[in-house]
Amino acid sequence: MVSDAEFEDLEQQQADAIQFLLAHSSVLKAMSEVAGVEHATLDFGIAMRDVVVQSDHFPAELIAALAAAGCGMELTQFPTGPKAKNLKRYRKALRAGQLRR
């Protein structure tokens, strides 16, 4: 965990990630090069917005810091509001064996 910022605050997540990556780049790079490690990834969790197309920007400084640390980047969108309730019901049904993947 590199940021305590909320799903709706991607800019703060990015700023926190840049600071973290710059402070720990050499350790992260060494960890990513350990035998058996297939990839190292920093996952940004963001809120799904109620839009036709969702587009999010990542600054060059962040991309450079990720590359220097040997890390890739992932973006995971989480539902909020009513959509989150539907997701909870889906997960509950999946765990109960009522749905198949």
pLDDT digit string (tens) for 4-55? 999 999 999 999 999 999 999 999 999 999 999 999 999 999 999 888 999 9
Query: What's the structural domain count of the chain?
Result: 1
pLDDT at 97: 72
Task: Identify whether 2 is part of a domain.
Answer: no
Residue-number span of the structural domain to which 62 is assigned: 10-95
Task: Identify whether 74 is part of a domain.
Answer: yes
Neighbour-count burial for 44-62, b at 16+ CB within 10 Å, e otherwise: bebbeeeeeeeeeeeeeeb
pLDDT tens string 53-85: 999 999 999 999 999 999 999 999 988 777 666
> pLDDT at residue 100 above 60?
no
Task: Identify whether 1 is part of a domain.
Answer: no
Torsion angle of C-alpha atoms 65, 71, 79, 59, degrees rounded to 10: 20
pTM recorded for the entire structure: 0.78
